[in-house]
């Protein structure tokens, strides 16, 4: 039996690469029956969030959740997983460049250390584990076809911003007391 999963991913970053940047990664599993299942996670503040890191984190999230779903199936079907992303960078990392970088000891064609190596190694490990159970494919899609993952990612960043504003305004009022 083949179990098919279609997962849409999106990563976003506000203040890309700056000290106060915030980012989020989202993955949405489109179910055959019922509403989609979604997951979201904020990016850590270190290393500094960037759009590229957010897109790779979204792929990692999708791979992790695909493995969790598989482990819950019980009857060990063959997997057919398609991960959709509106990031050409993330899709190319997983389909073209990663194999060359691994062979070259994580050095790119310019002779520099590959950016986001930590995330790429994690994604590669998860990808390898998932491929033991079936097929994994990465597909680039236009942003317009990725609205749900984009919305979930944006909502998380909106919430992070509100929390930061709340804590900033709270600390300002505390300083007035002294």
- pLDDT (tens digit, 9 = 90+) per residue, 14-37? 999 898 899 999 999 999 888 999
pLDDT of residue 171: 55
pTM: 0.91
- pLDDT (tens digit, 9 = 90+) per residue, 152-176? 999 999 999 888 776 666 555 544 4
List the CATH code of the domain at 2-156. Answer: 3.30.420.10
- pLDDT (tens digit, 9 = 90+) per residue, 52-98? 999 999 999 999 999 999 999 888 899 999 999 999 999 999 999 99
- The ranges assigned to domains in the chain are 2-156
Burial pattern 21-44, b for ≥16 Cβ within 10 A else e, equals: bbbbbbbbbbeeeeeeebbbbbbe
């Amino acid at each position: 039996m083949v179990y098919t999963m279609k997962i849409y991913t999106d990563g976003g970053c506000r203040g890309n690469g700056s000290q106060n940047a915030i980012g989020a990664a989202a993955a949405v599993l489109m179910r055959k029956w019922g509403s989609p299942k979604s997951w979201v996670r904020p990016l850590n503040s270190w290393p500094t969030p960037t759009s590229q890191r957010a897109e790779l984190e979204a792929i990692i999230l999708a791979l992790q959740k695909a493995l969790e779903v598989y482990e819950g199936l019980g009857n060990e079907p063959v997997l057919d997983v398609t991960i959709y992303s509106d990031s050409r960078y993330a899709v190319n990392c997983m389909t073209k460049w990663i194999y060359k970088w691994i062979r070259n000891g994580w050095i790119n064609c310019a002779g520099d250390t590959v950016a986001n190596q930590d995330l790429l190694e994690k994604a590669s490990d998860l990808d390898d584990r998932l491929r033991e159970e079936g097929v994994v494919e990465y597909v680039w899609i236009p942003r317009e076809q990725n609205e749900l993952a984009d919305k979930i990612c944006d909502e998380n960043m909106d919430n992070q911003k509100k929390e930061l504003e709340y804590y900033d305004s709270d600390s300002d009022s505390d300083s007035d007391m002294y």
